[in-house]
């Protein structure tokens, strides 16, 4: 039984990975465990102009959430003991494996779309659902930010029966915990790039905790009209003095 090249986790009796929709409490049990998974974290820096130097000085701006990615294998023709999914799923696979003809094959999309559709916007929350990925020591809470579906085998009628999903999740960061643990202090000079829709009031609220310091930002940057910010320009956010 093919379960992906060299995928020892897929063919041994290892606890199955689950993906829990925290909005509905629905639990999705993968059919085969991933061969591996990757965790990635990055930080953001912005170039700060420095007089008399060959290049800019890099100014730390912010960190970013962790990113989790892995590949999942799906095969609706299998009836082996190592197959995961619900009890109903395993029963269907067993019945399907006893058929001489592929005329009534199970569409593998019945299983891939349970995960693939987690990228869709929830009508009530106005965003995709928050999820929890659980597998042995792995506990990850976040959102499915990307899901790429590859169909690799078809029955005699062209129905997909084998597929691979490439999944990427981004970490959920509680806004309340960020507010309680600020990573930057208002007594440190910082540099920020203006984006479309930004205002001095918004910069002041984000960096200093209130909109009242917009005048200090305007003065530090020689801005006469605070309503006319140019997208792409870099603003100096001065340190606040006690």
CATH code for position 191: 3.10.350.10
Strands 131-135 and 67-75 turn out to be unpaired
Instruction: Give the C-alpha distances (Å, rounded to integers) separating 100 from 80, 110, 155, 164, 182.
Output: 17, 21, 12, 25, 63
Q: Is 74 within the bounds of a domain?
A: yes
Shared-domain flag, residues 164 and 206:
no
Residue 13: CB atoms within 10 A of its CB come to: 7
Residues 228 and 132 in one domain: no
All residues at 6 or more sequence positions from 15 whose CB lies less than 8 Å from its CB, including other chains:
135, 136
Q: Is there a contact between 30 and 19 (Cβ–Cβ < 8 Å)?
A: yes
Q: What is the pLDDT of residues 91-135, one digit of tens each?
A: 665 565 555 455 567 899 999 999 999 999 887 778 899 999 999
75 and 136 both lie in a single domain:
yes
Residues 45 and 139 in one domain: yes
The verdict on residue 85 lying in a domain is yes
Claim to verify: residue 101 and residue 161 sit in the same structural domain: yes
The domain that holds 130 is classified in CATH as 2.40.30
pTM above 0.75, yes or no: no
Domain count, the chain: 2
Percent of the chain at pLDDT exceeding 70: 75
């Amino acid at each position: 039984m093919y379960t992906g090249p060299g995928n020892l986790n897929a063919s041994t009796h290892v606890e199955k990975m689950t993906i829990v929709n925290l909005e509905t409490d629905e639990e999705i049990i993968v059919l085969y465990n991933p061969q591996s998974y990757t965790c990635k974290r990055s930080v953001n820096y912005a170039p700060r102009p420095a007089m008399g130097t060959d290049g800019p000085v890099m100014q730390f701006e912010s960190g970013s959430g962790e990113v989790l990615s892995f590949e999942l294998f799906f095969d609706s023709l299998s009836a082996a003991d190592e197959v995961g999914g619900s009890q109903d799923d395993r029963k269907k696979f067993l019945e399907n494996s006893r058929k001489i003809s592929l005329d009534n094959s199970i569409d593998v999309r019945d299983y891939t779309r349970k995960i693939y559709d987690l990228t869709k916007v929830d009508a009530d929350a106005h965003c995709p659902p928050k999820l929890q990925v659980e597998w042995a020591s792995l506990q990850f809470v976040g959102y499915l930010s990307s899901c790429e579906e590859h169909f690799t085998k078809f029955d005699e009628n062209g129905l997909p029966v084998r597929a691979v999903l490439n999944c990427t999740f981004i970490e959920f960061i509680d806004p309340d915990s960020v507010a309680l643990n600020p990573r930057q202090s208002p007594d440190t000079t910082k540099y920020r790039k203006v984006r479309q829709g930004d205002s001095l009031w918004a910069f002041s609220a984000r960096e200093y905790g209130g909109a009242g310091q917009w005048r200090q930002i305007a003065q530090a940057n020689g801005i006469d009209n605070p309503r006319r910010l140019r997208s792409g320009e870099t603003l100096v956010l001065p340190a606040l003095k006690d």
